[in-house]
Amino acid sequence: MKITEKANELIQTLMKRHPNTKLTIGIYHKGETDFKLFDITGELPYESYLYEIGSIVKTFTTTLLAKYINEGKMSLNDSVAKYIPELNDGNYYPTLKRLATHTASFSLMPPVIWDEVEWRDIWIGFESIYKKINKSPKADYGDYYQRMTNSIQIDKQRLLQVIKKRKFEDKDYPWKYSNVGFALLGLAISNVANMPFSKILTEQFREEFGINLLLSNKPHGNLVMGYDLKNREVGNKIIPESACLTSAGEGILSTAEDMMKFAKMHLEDEDGYLQICHEVYGDKTFFPKYEQGLGWGVNIRDNIILHLGNTWGFASSLVVATEKETAIILLANVYVYREHIPLATEILLANWEG
């Protein structure tokens, strides 16, 4: 693995701002794989750690969607109601394609349900909650964080309540990144597989693809502690298995090694069905020069697909350059992107030739 002088500078900047960080970097290039581990002291002898991987789980969700489309069990243009009996009420509901491309009009997060706050039952995003947390007294921070965590968990019953309140038109809405939409897509996939979505992620990926994803519904010995942007310890969320429906990443853990196995699936794609995820379905994503695939940002010019993930104490990046046969994994136990994205880009560019 090549770690350029610029990449080292970016790592040092990250560590100075966030001294509690453990940073794992993995790279695959044309058959060779390497992993590195860094902290505030510099590079360490490599050890494998578990991290919360956040919204990168959306790419696992669309991988399952592609599999079931290939098997004739699902179709992109079907209404999600076809796969969820509770939605067969005569109303229009979005297609699987619109859910997987963030064009179904859902907001980022489900409504907050704290009884003691004045904005119960409205649609609210991460930033508003985060600002409220940062204003809380330091002594109350841990309790406030845990209550916030509990408030944004979503199980099947709550998800269906949210969906049935909405009235949809049969059209592509403007692109709006949505965990709620992917939760609904996860429920449809769960019904097709006839097993809870949490078990699909943990059991099916392990048995069929040899990839380990774990739930944070119990302690794990090699799970690193999470920190927020102000270097405050936020710990690790212990989320009930029923709330891991979201497929938005809450409560899903993995290692760089298993993430790399997943990246190689999309590089090698021996059965060809994953190409449906890499096609372009819309012209907007969070990332400049990237268009919307199924759960991935797609850069057609350079044949790169990517997704980022974050929880309140973790950040992750997965970048796959299909033409260059290269993949980059970055996992950090701090909620930060300012250094993460340029670092992933620098490492990718330094390693994809040769």
Model confidence pLDDT, tens digit, residues 231-287 = 888 877 666 666 555 555 567 899 999 999 999 999 998 789 999 999 999 877 777
Q: What are the E-state strand segments in the chain?
A: 23-29, 32-39, 42-44, 51-52, 214-215, 226-227, 233-235, 252-254, 291-292, 297-299, 304-311, 314-321, 326-332
Contact 343, 14 (CB under 8 A): yes
pLDDT at residue number 120 = 37
pLDDT in tens, 310-353: 887 899 999 999 999 999 999 999 987 777 888 988 888 888 77
Q: 126: exposed, middle or buried (C-beta count within 10 Å: 0-12, 13-18, 19+)?
A: middle
pLDDT for position 218 = 72
Q: Which CATH superfamily is domain 5-110+152-351 in?
A: DD-peptidase/beta-lactamase superfamily (3.40.710.10)
**pLDDT for residue 81:** 96
Please report the pLDDT score of residue 122 as a whole number: 34
| pLDDT value of residue 134 | 58
Question: What parts of the chain have a pLDDT lower than 70?
Answer: 108-154, 237-250, 354
Let me know how long the chain is: 354
In whole angstroms, give the CA distance from residue 108 to residue 128. 12
> Can you give the pLDDT at residue 284?
75
Compute φ and ψ for 235, nearest 5 degrees: 75, -150
CA distance 20 to 164: 43
User: What is the pLDDT, as a whole number, of residue 352?
Assistant: 78
Give the pLDDT confidence score for residue 265 in this predicted structure: 95
- The pLDDT score that the predictor gives to residue 139 is 46
